[in-house]
Amino acid sequence: MVTEVDLKRELLRLLREDEEFRLAVAGLLGLDAILLELRKLREDFNRFVELEDRRWEENRKRWEENAKRWEENERRWEEINKRWEENWRLWEENMKRWEENERRWQENWRRWEEAYKRFEAIEEELRRLREDHNKLREDFNRAYADLSRRLDALGARWGIISEEAFREGMRGVVERILGVAKIGRWVYYDSSGEVYGRPSVIEVDVVVKDGEHVLIEVKSSVSRGDVYEFWRISELYRRVTGATPRLVLISPYVDNKARELAESLGIEVYTQTS
């Protein structure tokens, strides 16, 4: 795009260099107009030159300032390069140290892994030994408890301790078998002698759980007569209460014929109380 300044420059050049153009312009405008225009062009040109001079001076100052800045920047870059060289040297030293530390860490890690595997093996062996020990202790406790109950049963059988003492000792076992916290006692006066053939007081352990009635008989030893007696008590209980009970017989010693009779009458027999 041609600016006014460029146009003026071109006109001045043509007027100065092209005689035919000067004559043509003079013929069209007249000499006075041409001179006036030339004067205006000269003034504009002078202003343009002054403006350009000022701009050049400003640019020269800026260039000088930029040169100073470049010198300062060059000096700073030299300092930075020196620092980088020093940092690089320190970095190389640190890298060597890191490599050495890494090698040591790997060696230590390998040793830790070996030690950890040993500890795991020891821990596993200790855990297995602890489990074996706990199992052995549980087996011993069960055997001891079972032996203790059997000794109590023998004592009750041969009169060393009373049957009632044996029953009380077995109460916790019964509660565990039936899954209850407490066992009750049903007491009833059998005036018609339905159980023993004569009027007598009938007592039996009973549990009522979730609507189910459970009669429990615990004895040191059980014979066929004991089974019949327990069954007659259950019949009396059913007639009096109107509930058909579940029958549970617990004893470490149950005669084979007594067991067969109990099964035929629907009585549950427990001999392994441990």
Residue 152, in any domain of the structure: no
Q: What residue ranges in 99-244 does DSSP mark as E strands?
A: 184-190, 200-209, 212-218
Residue 179 backbone dihedrals phi, psi, to 5 degrees: 70, 40
How is the beta sheet containing 212-218 ordered, strand by strand? 184-190, 200-209, 212-218, 246-250, 267-270
Interatomic CA distance for residues 175 and 250, integer angstroms: 12
pLDDT tens track for 206-230: 888 888 898 988 887 888 999 999 9
**For the domain that residue 178 is a member of, what is the CATH number?**
3.40.1350.10
- In 3-state terms, what secondary structure has residue 81? helix
Residue 26, in any domain of the structure: no
Q: Looking at residue 198, what DSSP letter applies?
A: S
Domain span at residue 168 reads: 163-270
pLDDT at res. 16:
77
Read off the pTM. Answer: 0.42
Q: What residue ranges in the chain does DSSP mark as E strands?
A: 184-190, 200-209, 212-218, 246-250, 267-270
Q: Which residues, including other chains, have CB under 8 Å from residue 5's CB and lie 6 or more apart?
A: 44, 48
Residue 266, in any domain of the structure: yes
Task: Look up residue 28 and give its two tokens.
Answer: 């069209």
Residue 245, in any domain of the structure: yes
pLDDT at res. 144:
35
pLDDT at res. 180:
58
236 CB-side CA count, 13 A: 24
Residue 185, in any domain of the structure: yes
Give the H/E segment covering residue 232: helix 224-241
β-bridge pairing 200-209 and 184-190: antiparallel
Are the C-beta atoms of 195 and 234 separated by less than 8 Å? no
Residue 104, in any domain of the structure: no
Interatomic CA distance for residues 154 and 139, integer angstroms: 22
Short-list 171, 181, 192, CA closest to 239: 192
Q: Per residue in 81-115, is it b (16+ CB within 10 Å) or e — as a string?
A: eeeeeeeeeeeeeeeeeeeeeeeeeeeeeeeeeee
Spans in the chain with pLDDT lower than 50: 136, 139-141, 143-145, 147-162, 165, 169, 181, 273-274
Residue 197, in any domain of the structure: yes
pLDDT at res. 154:
43
Number of domains the chain contains: 1
Angle at 253 between CA 252 and CA 257, to 5 degrees: 140
Residue 249, in any domain of the structure: yes
pLDDT at res. 252:
76
- In 3-state terms, what secondary structure has residue 34? helix
Interatomic CA distance for residues 50 and 55, integer angstroms: 9
- Where do the H-state alpha helices sit in 18-30? 19-29
Short-list 191, 257, 195, 186, CA closest to 221: 257
